[in-house]
Amino acid sequence: MRRPSGPACVLLVCATASAVTLPFAVLAQTLTSPFSNHYTLSSQRDVLDSAESLVQTGELDAAEVAFRRVFESVRADQGLFHEAQLPVLDRLLATNLARQDWEKFNYYLDYHRALASRLHRNQTIRYAESLATGADWHQRAALIMADEHRTWHLIRARNLIWQAVSALEQTPGSQARLSPLLYQIATLHYYLTNVASLRGRTSLEVRTDRPLRLSGWSMSGNEAERRSYAVGQELLERIYRLHATGDGDSHDLAHIDTLLGDWQLLFGRDELARDYYFKAYRALRADPSATQLIDQLFGTPVTLPASYFSTPMQNDTSALSAMNTSQGPVRPQLTDDFFTEDHRYELDHASQ
Amino acid sequence: MSLTMLRNKPAPQWAVSLRQRLCFCLLLPVLAGCVAPGEGNFRRPPTPAEVEQYNAMVQPEDRIVCRSEVPVSSNIPVRKCRLVVDIDETSVFHREQLRRALR
């Protein structure tokens, strides 16, 4: 076989080198050149891929620039009110959350809400889902932030979920989607009472939607706690009624009784908690098919607030579960012996 | 003697009837208070969750706060709902009045 000549070798090497470096060169040009046309679909994909790889390597500032270019490109290419913005917007939110650039994060979150409202206003379920997504972002931010900023994010999340609930209430047949949202509101009340600052809470709740504290009358700590307990109790009872009037599955009702028991435990009402647990436990023990559920609910200690079950809209309290600390209350492991007189005070010890 | 006789003497029919009527008249407002009024003439204040849902749907200037207040000359708390703007204005007014009185 004949060996390639010198010039042919050079050509071969050049071709190989260009094949390897071309995507990077294109990418670099797309990212840096002010004259490049990044409004084309292929270019959007390139930039998006590069942004994702920048996130992987931890270069968040560069990734944010790249995502912003894709965002602008999608807007220019497909229209200011096109749905294609939403996935890019999610990436922008994630990047700014990781960078802890709260100004941009809040800006894109406002944009997300306005866009979702414009796009899905007439499609109730999608609208409710996008509101719940916005609430989830606020909850993620609340995990990172402290003091009044955490309070503000939790309150914003709660308001968005209420808006989703209000939208779903207007739509027949979407009652099943209400329960997880109502539970999420209750859980947010617990976090607002226990891990968020009380300072400026009244102002953030009723005086302004911005993260500002305006002076004026404010609710006392005790009053705020009592109200949070009342709201959560009301919502959990409503969830119970929703399930009771629906198919009325005894397993579901026992599960909700357990959540009601958890709620009492979270607010220090141990005797009431015991009653709810007993009701749930007795109902499940009477059903031979509920062994697995008994084990799931009472087999091991559960850190509270527990996550909701069977969520049609999977926007659970998972984002906030990281706020649960080892110091928090725990649903104790329950057995038949637990409800006898000898173990009367065991719940108190377990919850401490 | 006559006093003992009077005490042992059964009350006349008209007196028993009058006493029953008097008792009935006194109990009537109490019984009326126990009867749940119809929807037409009774509006219950919103629950805490309803207030919160309403507040989430409106602009800050339209938001309300519901609290249990003990009115002057009574010990029975009453649940009252007010606009936050009104609460703030009342608070400022009272502070101003107090300041003027202390001057």
Q: Mean pLDDT score of chain A, rounded to an integer?
A: 82
| Selected residue with higher pLDDT from B32 and A62 | A62
Q: What was the pLDDT predicted at A253?
A: 92
Tell me the percentage of chain A whose pLDDT exceeds 70: 78
- Its pTM stands at 0.77
A55 vs A266, residue with greater confidence? A266
Interface with A, mutate which of B53, B61, B67, B94 (most A CBs under 10 A): B53
Cα(A281)–Cα(A286) distance, integer angstroms: 9
CA angle at A305 for the pair A132 and A301, rounded to the nearest 5°: 140
Tokens 């725990």 locate to A330
d(CA A228, CA A234): 10
Find out whether A142 and A150 touch, Cβ atoms under 8 Å.
yes
- A247 pLDDT higher than 60: yes
Give how far B16 is from chain A: nearest CA, Å.
50
Within 8 A of B57 by CB-CB distance, chain A residues are 162-163, 166
Q: What is the Cα–Cα distance from A22 to A42, expressed in whole angstroms?
A: 15
pLDDT tier for residue A186 given thresholds of 50, 70 and 90: very high
Instruction: Kindly tell me if the per-residue pLDDT of A106 is higher than 90.
Output: yes
Say if residues A71 and A89 touch (Cβ distance below 8 Å): yes
Mean pLDDT of A150-165: 95
Interface of B with A (CB under 8 A): 47-49, 52-53, 55-57, 60, 63-65, 67, 84, 87-88, 91
A156 CB near a chain B CB, below 8 Å?
no
ipTM, 2 dp: 0.78
Asked if A206 and B49 come within 8 Å (Cβ–Cβ), the reply is no
Looking at residue B12, its amino acid is P
A163 interfacial to chain B (CB closer than 8 Å): yes
The mean pLDDT value of chain B amounts to 80
pLDDT of residue B16: 67
For the residues A76-84, what does the mean pLDDT come to? 87
**pLDDT confidence bin for A317, thresholds 50/70/90:** very low
Is the model more confident about B37 or about A237? A237
Nearest CA in chain B to A227: B48
Distance between B88 CA and the closest CA of chain A, angstroms: 6
A231 has a chain B CB within 8 A of its CB: yes
Give the range of the structural domain holding residue B65, as residue numbers without chain letter: 2-102
Question: Tell me: the pLDDT tens digits for B42-88?
Answer: 678 899 999 999 999 999 999 999 988 888 889 998 888 999 989 88
Q: How far, in Å, CA of A74 to CA of A39, rounded?
A: 7
Residue type present at position A312: P
Our count of domains for chain B comes to 1
Residue A231 and residue B49: Cβ atoms within 8 Å?
A: yes
Which of A158, A183, A217 is best to mutate for the B interface (most B CBs within 10 A)? A217
Give the dihedral sign, CA A31/A32/A34/A37: negative
Distance of residue B17 Cα from the nearest chain A Cα, in angstroms = 50
- What secondary structure does DSSP assign to A119-161, as a single string? HHTT-HHHHHHHHHHHHHHHHHHHHH--HHHHHHHHHHHHHHH
Whether residue A350 is predicted with pLDDT greater than 50 in this model: the reply is no
